[in-house]
Amino acid sequence: MKRWFIARMGDYENDGGLSPKLTVYPNVNYRIWSKPGFGFCFGQLATNNLDQFAGDNDIRLIPDSGLDNAISSIPANLRNAMQAQLADAGFDMSAVRLTWTLRQLLKHLKVQLDNDDNIESGDVRDIEG
């Protein structure tokens, strides 16, 4: 299954470089956007075991929803937790409105880390099994 996420960046591969916390988990493919000096990345992952991230405060999954669904369609407890986690990670959430679609939110996150807001091109390979 695929999910959008934010994850803490660190030297998880012990090679002196920065990578997302996802690298310590098995069977995870991902694509990320990050920028120097920002402690978190934003991206899309594919895995056959979402439960493996439970309790890891360095990885936050964005609730599953259709990209064209309004943020208000996400249950209030999940939506409030998601917005707090994104803000805690350093993302500017001041412009976000409940009437926005999930696609608008994802573009808003990406443009804070990259020169564009294109989340449509590219994909992450599914994990089978």
Q: How confident is the model at residue 115 (pLDDT cuts 50, 70, 90)?
A: confident
111 — phi, psi (to 5°)? -65, -20
Q: Is the pLDDT of residue 129 over 80?
A: no
Q: Is the pLDDT of residue 5 over 80?
A: yes
Cα→Cα distances 38→33, 58, 76, 109, Å: 11, 14, 28, 13
Helices (H) and strands (E) in the chain, counts: 2, 5
What is residue 119's predicted lDDT score, i.e. its pLDDT?
Answer: 87
Q: pLDDT tens digit string along 40-76?
A: 999 999 999 999 999 999 999 998 888 899 999 999 9
In whole angstroms, what is the distance from residue 18 CA to residue 39 CA? 10
For the chain, give the mean pLDDT. Answer: 92
Q: Which residue is it, tokens 């803490």?
A: 8
Nearest to 67 by CA among 94, 35, 31, 101: 101
